[in-house]
Structure 1
Amino acid sequence: MKNQKTDIIEVCWELFFQFGIKSVTMDDIACKLGISKKTIYQHFNNKNDLVEQALEWQINHPSFSFQSMEVSHLNAIDQYIAFYKFVISQIENSCDSMMYDLRKYYPRIWNKFHLTTLAKFQKELFLNLKKGTEEGLFRPEMNIEWISKTIARFYMNMAESDSIIIEKDDMANIDYHKELVLYHLHGICTSNGIEYVKNNFK
C-alpha cells in the first residue's frame, strides 16, 4: 500500500517529467497533491532531498521493466515491442528540460542515477536477448553481452548527445524509433523471429 511520502514522490516525478525540475516549486507539488507545503517538509528536508529521493525511488520502481508482470509472460519480441511503445509514450509526454536540469543543477545525483539506471537497463536487455535465443527467435551465436551494452548505452545517452548525426527532431520522431526497432530486431532475429516480426509489428 502506498503512503503519503510515495504519493509526493510520484507526483513530483510527474511534474518534473512534464515541466522540468527547475520550474517546479514545492508550492506546485503541494497544490497538485492538495496538501500544505509544511506536509512535504515533514518527509523531505528541502527540494534537493526531494529530487534525490525521487530519483532513488525511480531506480527501484522503473517506469518500464522487461521483468514486470505486464510483459514478463510475453515472448522476447513482444517484450521489445512493448519497450518500443513505452519509448513512444515517453517521447509524447516528456520535457527535455528535466534531464538538462538534472545534469546542470544536480550533477552528483544525476551521475548516480544515470550509471545505476544504465547498469539495470543493460541487465534487463541481456535477459531479454537470452530469453529470445532460448525461444528460437533470436540468433544463438550473437554476443548478447555486447548487444545489450550497446543498446542500453544508445538509449541512455540519446538525450545527452550533441551529435549532428542524431538530430533532436529525429529523437522525437516516432517513425525514427520504429526504424530503430526494425533495424535491431532484423539484426538479432532468426528466420522464425523475422517472420514473427513481420506479422506482429505494424
Structure 2
Amino acid sequence: MEKAEKSALAVTRILETAFTLFRQYGVRLVTMDEIAARMGMSKKTLYLHFADKDELVTRVVQHSVQGIQDLCLTYQQSAGDAIEELLQTMRYLEGFFRNMNPVVIMDLQKYHPKAYAVFREHMDGFVLKNIYANLKRGMTEGLYRDNIRMDIVAKARLETCMICFRPEFFPGDRYEMSQVQQELRLNFLFGLSTLKGYKLIQRYLKKQTASETAKTA
C-alpha cells in the first residue's frame, strides 16, 4: 500500500473515531488526547494529520455532511417516487442521528465557527434544495397537494430539522434524537400528502414494518 493511501485511510479512521466520540459526548468535552487514545496512537501522530482540534472538527463535519449528501442523491435517483425517496432518507438519517448528543450543534456554533459554517452551508444549501426538489417531484406525481406554498413549507421543514438539536425543546435525558426526527418527518410527510400519497405512505410503512419484524424474528 502506498504511503499516501495509508495516510488517507488513517485520516478517515480518525474522522470516524472523532465523530463517534463527538456524537456521544458533544464536541467541547472531547479532547485530542482522548481521540488519540481511542485510536491507539500518540497525540503527536494525530497532530501529523491535523494542525489542531478546530481543523479536526471542521474535517469531521465536512466528512459527515458529504456522506449524507452522497446518500441523499443516491436515494433521489433510485427511489420510484417522492415518498419512497423521503422515507429512504428518513431511515438513513434515523440511524445517523441515533443516540447523538443534542449539544453537538451548540458546541460547533459556540466553539468551532468554521465547522458550524460548513454545517449551515449544508443545511441552507444542499438540504433546502433537496426539500424543494422532493416537493416538486411529489406534486408532479400527484402524491403531494398541488396548492403547497413551497417557499413556506421548505423553510419550515428546514427549521424542524434543526429543532431536535435544541435541548430546551427536547432534553437528551427524555428524548432520543432519531425518534424526534422520525416523528417530525412523518408528520411533515402526512401533512403534504394527497389521498393517493397517504395510501402509498401507509403501504411503504407497512412493508417497512414487516421487513424489520422479519429481521428480528
Band of TM-score, shorter chain: 0.7 to 0.9
Distance 1:31 1:72, change over 3 A: farther
- 1:188 maps to amino acid: L
Q: 22, 30, 41: which one pairs with 2:36?
A: 30
Distance 1:100 1:177, change over 3 A: closer
RMSD: 2.8
Deviations 1:70-116 (A, max 9, x none): 5631121122222333443345321233233223322x235413421
Q: 117, 123, 140: which one pairs with 2:122?
A: 117
Distance 1:105 1:14, change over 3 A: same
Q: Distance in 2 between matches of 1:97 and 1:66?
A: 24
Residue 175 of structure 1: CA displacement? 6.5
Q: Residue 127 of structure 1 corresponds to which residue in structure 2?
A: 133
Deviations 1:132-151 (A, max 9, x none): 22322222332333322210
Sequence identity (%): 25
* Residue segments in structure 1 that go unaligned for 5+ positions in a row: none
Q: Residue 107 of structure 2 corresponds to which residue in structure 1?
A: 101
**What is the DSSP-based 3-state SS (H/G/I as helix, E as strand, rest coil) of the residue aligned with 2:104?**
helix
Deviations 1:35-55 (A, max 9, x none): 332221111111122112222
1:11 corresponds to 2:14: no
**What is the DSSP-based 3-state SS (H/G/I as helix, E as strand, rest coil) of the residue aligned with 1:21?**
coil
TM-score by length of 2: 0.75
Residue 181 of structure 1: CA displacement? 3.4
Deviations 1:129-183 (A, max 9, x none): 2222232222233233332221012212432374xxx443775377765543343
Q: Distance in 2 between matches of 1:10 and 1:175?
A: 23
1:197 corresponds to 2:201: yes
Distance 1:148 1:190, change over 3 A: same
Q: Distance in 2 between matches of 1:168 and 1:65?
A: 29
Residue 28 of structure 1: CA displacement? 2.3
- 1:83 maps to amino acid: T
Distance 1:186 1:79, change over 3 A: same
Give the structure with the larger helix fraction. Answer: 2
Distance 1:25 1:179, change over 3 A: closer
TM-score by length of 1: 0.80
Distance 1:123 1:195, change over 3 A: same
Q: Distance in 1 between matches of 2:17 and 2:69?
A: 14
**What is the DSSP-based 3-state SS (H/G/I as helix, E as strand, rest coil) of the residue aligned with 2:72?**
coil
Q: Distance in 2 between matches of 1:132 and 1:190?
A: 10
Of residues 56-65 and 130-139 in structure 1, the stretch that sits farther from structure 2 once superposed is 56-65
Q: Is the 8 A contact 2:102 2:166 kept in 1?
A: no
- 1:191 maps to amino acid: L
Q: Distance in 2 between matches of 1:97 and 1:184?
A: 24
Q: Is the 8 A contact 2:93 2:178 kept in 1?
A: no
Q: Is the 8 A contact 1:71 1:82 kept in 2?
A: no
Q: Distance in 2 between matches of 1:179 and 1:20?
A: 23
- 1:82 maps to amino acid: Q
Residue 127 of structure 1: CA displacement? 1.5
**What is the DSSP-based 3-state SS (H/G/I as helix, E as strand, rest coil) of the residue aligned with 1:77?**
helix
